[in-house]
Amino acid sequence: MKEKTFRILRDDRPLEDKVKEGYIYVDPHITSENFRAALPAGRNAGEATLVNFGEYVFSEDVVNRLDKLSLRPGLPTELADLSKSHPGSTEFAGCVPLVALGDSWVGPLGNLLVVYLVGDASGRELSLHWRGSGWMDTYWFIAFHK
């Protein structure tokens, strides 16, 4: 297992406003209407813990492992804030693909979907992935201390 910590400046704007700039693609379903979990209002700094388990793992197993580490899965809005906080960072780019398992949405086909970040320091995308599928050993997960 690998962990990295990054400072994050939280932003209380709606998710769709946060993702208007700084991405080469954002799935149009990534909105605050679909992903409703939110943090208390106001901006504040904090630390995000990015975790890579180094093996193929399913979403529920990730959530359980994070819980044992006293971490909670990050939200899509926190993932957007983290990406904005480190726009050109190659160190941060080394932690993608990065998944936010803290909120999900039932898509048009009935699948439970989560937001994940892909790309590198030159361009990033926010996309959707089926929560029920497994994650390869290259995926990282955004988390925060409880």
pLDDT band at 23 (very low <50, low <70, confident <90, very high): very high
In degrees and rounded to multiples of 5, residue 118 shows phi and psi of -130, 165
pLDDT in tens, 42-94: 556 689 999 999 999 999 999 999 999 999 999 999 999 999 999 888 899 89
Q: How far apart are CA 83 and CA 52, in angstroms?
A: 17
Coil vs helix vs strand at 93: helix
Q: How far apart are CA 39 and CA 9, in angstroms?
A: 13
Tokens 């201390």 — which residue?
145
| Confidence at residue 10, expressed as pLDDT on a 0 to 100 scale | 86
pLDDT in tens, 27-49: 999 999 999 987 756 556 689 99
| Confidence at residue 42, expressed as pLDDT on a 0 to 100 scale | 57
| Confidence at residue 30, expressed as pLDDT on a 0 to 100 scale | 97
pLDDT in tens, 91-141: 998 999 999 999 999 999 999 999 999 987 678 999 999 998 899 999 999
Break the chain into its structural domains and give their ranges.
2-36+44-145
Query: Is residue 105 within 8 Å of residue 111, measured between CB atoms?
Result: no
| Confidence at residue 87, expressed as pLDDT on a 0 to 100 scale | 87
Q: How far apart are CA 101 and CA 141, in angstroms?
A: 8
